């Protein structure tokens, strides 16, 4: 994540989340809150590390056998992770095409997304949303073939699961569908359940899209990882490092 987004996190961000929960409780079933999954509610680094270790086994790359989540500093910098595991620049460039192909066969699958872990406080916060009576809508760029693994990971990590109460999951029909276009289409569907009062996303492009479409909603940017596209977040968007833990 670029340093300018890290510095957007301001003191008092926890109160913004408390205010969102208070509004959800006051509106109940009329309220809709939308959450992205990857790098918003879920940390993908454990999945990334597992794939890299498996590549190390398949290609007898001993330095990659100990790959761990902390080696993925930015979340999606594969070359950086390989260097952090001890490979030289020459080794990284020689192996990168093979690693990339190996990764593409695995990362966007149900079998591997079950290895994600919840962002700090995500389970507590999403359950507070669900308990408020509001509609909790997961809006993700994952495709439908990943639904089973996604829901299994939600159960494993303690997040509300679609079908429980007013919990919904919107996914791309096909892996080849464009993420940005799908999310904009999904935004149009949110009004089916009520009034969007808050949206959470790690991608500046998607956070900005939410605010432009729903100017009365509180848009929250998760200052975790993102695609690296040079997009400036709109000023009204609040950046948070994670979700807080409160009884």
What are the boundaries of each domain within the chain?
3-44+116-240, 45-113
- Tell me: pLDDT of 92 over 90: yes
The pLDDT, as a whole number, for residue 4 is 63
The pLDDT, as a whole number, for residue 172 is 96
- Tell me: pLDDT of 167 over 80: yes
pLDDT digit string, tens, across residues 97-140: 999 999 999 999 999 999 999 999 999 999 999 999 999 999 99
The owner of tokens 């979340």 is 75
- When pLDDT is cut at 50, 70 and 90, the band that residue 246 belongs to is low
Contact assessment for residue 107 and residue 51, using Cβ atoms and an 8 Å cutoff: yes
- Tell me: pLDDT of 2 over 70: no
- Tell me: pLDDT of 71 over 70: yes
Mean pLDDT, rounded, for 37-41: 97
Nearest 5°: phi and psi at 154? -60, -45
Nearest 5°: phi and psi at 149? -65, -35
The pLDDT, as a whole number, for residue 247 is 47
Q: Tokens in use for 19? A: 């205010």
The pLDDT, as a whole number, for residue 144 is 97
Mean pLDDT, rounded, for 131-151: 97
Q: Please give the Cα distance from 118 to 97 (Å, whole number).
A: 30
The pLDDT, as a whole number, for residue 1 is 40
Name the residue among 41, 38, 39, 62 with its Cα closest to residue 52. Answer: 62
The owner of tokens 């507590």 is 124
Contacts 24+ apart (CB under 8 A), 161-169: 162/138, 164/130, 165/130, 166/29, 166/130, 166/133, 166/134, 166/135, 166/136, 166/193, 167/130, 167/135, 167/136, 167/137, 167/138, 168/135, 168/136, 168/137, 168/138, 168/193, 169/137, 169/138, 169/140
Give me the architecture of the 3-44+116-240 domain, per CATH.
3-Layer(aba) Sandwich (3.40)
Q: Please give the Cα distance from 142 to 156 (Å, whole number).
A: 18
Mean pLDDT, rounded, for 18-47: 97
Q: Which of 7-11, 41-45, 83-87, 174-178 has the lowest mean pLDDT?
A: 7-11
pLDDT digit string, tens, across residues 214-232: 999 999 999 998 777 788 9
Q: Please give the Cα distance from 100 to 106 (Å, whole number).
A: 10
């Amino acid at each position: 994540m670029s340093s300018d987004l890290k510095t957007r996190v301001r003191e008092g961000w926890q109160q913004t989340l408390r205010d969102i929960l208070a509004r959800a409780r006051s509106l109940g079933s009329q309220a809709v809150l939308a959450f992205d999954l990857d790098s918003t509610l879920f940390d993908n680094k454990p999945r990334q590390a597992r794939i890299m270790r498996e590549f190390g086994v398949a290609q007898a790359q001993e330095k990659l056998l100990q790959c761990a989540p902390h080696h993925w500093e930015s979340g999606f910098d594969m070359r950086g992770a390989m260097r952090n595991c001890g490979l030289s620049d020459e080794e990284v460039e020689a192996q990168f095409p093979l690693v990339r192909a190996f990764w593409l066969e695995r990362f966007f699958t149900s079998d591997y997304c079950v290895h994600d872990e919840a962002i700090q406080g995500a389970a507590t916060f999403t359950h507070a949303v669900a308990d408020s009576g509001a509609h909790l809508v997961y809006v993700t760029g994952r495709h439908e073939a990943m639904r089973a693994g996604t829901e299994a990971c939600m159960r494993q990590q303690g997040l509300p699961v679609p079908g429980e109460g007013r919990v919904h999951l919107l996914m791309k029909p096909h892996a080849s569908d464009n993420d940005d276009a799908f999310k904009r289409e999904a935004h149009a569907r949110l009004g089916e359940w009520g009034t969007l009062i808050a949206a959470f996303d790690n991608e500046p492009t998607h956070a900005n899209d939410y605010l432009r479409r729903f100017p009365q909603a509180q848009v929250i940017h998760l200052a975790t990882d993102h695609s690296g596209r040079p997009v400036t977040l709109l000023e009204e968007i609040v950046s948070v490092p994670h979700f807080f833990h409160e009884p």
